[in-house]
Structure 1
Amino acid sequence: MTTRDTVQELLRRIGEGDAERVAGLFAERCDWKFSWPAEGHPSVPWIRPRSSRDDAAEHFRTLAAHHVPELNATSVARVLVDGDDAVVLGDIVQTAEGTGETYTSPFALHLTVEDGHITRYHIYEDSLTVAMAHSGRRRAS
């Protein structure tokens, strides 16, 4: 598969919500990065260091458990590909399971694909909005 094919398949599998199938696209060892240092914060337990295919499955399982899947309206605006690298731009629109708070955050996802497997997963999002929705606190406008 090409980089674009792998990214499109990743997005399709994320949309289906099957964490094991999503993880199947990751290399056994991979470079993860989140745009915010919320590791250990109780309202966002999916934010922690990760480095493997098994970690990817755990990430997507935990993420799903903390959101209302039928209220997901996340959208992708653009996928840019340059060789092994891809950037996905869009808006996360989710509802926190524990609080019922809906939130919207723009995101950028930087991926690297080697031999059909994702070896880099760096995501950048509005971390304050995400954490506040999951802790039940509204963000001031």
Structure 2
Amino acid sequence: MAVSAPTTTRVVVDELLRRIGEGDPERIAELYAERGDWRLDWPESEHGRTATPWIRHRSTRADAAAHYRELAEHHVPGAGATEIERILIDGDDAVVFGEIRQTARPTGHAYRARFALHLTVERGLVTRHHVYEDSLAVAQAFDTEGPGEDH
């Protein structure tokens, strides 16, 4: 998606979600600015854990591609889905609400995690990506010590 003319927030968000659904990290990352603000609402002490290395703050387009690669590497292919329930747009900002259903590759545990994704789009590219999700459900699914039954 070349960004030459002004692009609406809704168009960029829809395209981002479509590309995430397709699963190509490089194509997804094309929609992120070279530098951005990427935050995850997880306790700092839990960022970058061995079991969930994709969970950490990021700041570049290359980081965005790495996030989607790491996410794919740690989940069972074809054993997940994302349901988008609502997208709210306010100028350059968008909030996406939904639920992720995945299966952790190392444990085989399925999980569901509700989420809100706050995006900011400037000049046709995502400059803010803040995720608020059910981190307990994700952590439990990757816990090799716990039960992990479809949280």
TM (norm. structure 1) is 0.95
| SS of aligned partner of 2:28 | helix
| SS of aligned partner of 2:81 | coil
Aligned residues: 141
Q: Once the two structures are superposed, what CA deviation does each residue of 1:20-39 show, in whole Å capped at 9, x if it has no partner?
A: 00000000000011010221
Q: Do residues 10 (structure 1) and 16 (structure 2) align?
A: yes
**Amino acid of the residue matched to residue 73 of structure 1?**
A
Deviation at 1:139, TM superposition (A): 5.8
Runs of 5+ consecutive residues of structure 1 not aligned to the other structure = none
The answer on whether the counterparts of 2:110 and 2:148 sit within 8 Å (CA) in structure 1 is no
Deviation at 1:138, TM superposition (A): 3.0
User: Which residues of 2 match residues 52-71 of structure 1 at below 5 A?
Assistant: 52-71=60-79
User: Which residues of 2 match residues 1-141 of structure 1 at below 5 A?
Assistant: 1-37=7-43, 38-136=46-144, 137-138=146-147
The answer on whether the counterparts of 2:106 and 2:142 sit within 8 Å (CA) in structure 1 is yes
Cα separation, 2, equivalents of 1:93 and 1:138: 17
**Amino acid of the residue matched to residue 42 of structure 1?**
T
Deviation at 1:49, TM superposition (A): 2.4
CA RMSD of superposed structures (Å): 1.4
Deviation at 1:66, TM superposition (A): 0.5
TM (norm. structure 2) is 0.89
**Amino acid of the residue matched to residue 82 of structure 1?**
D
Deviation at 1:81, TM superposition (A): 0.3
What is the aligned-residue identity percentage? 59
Structure 1 runs, 4 residues or longer, greater than 6 Å off: none
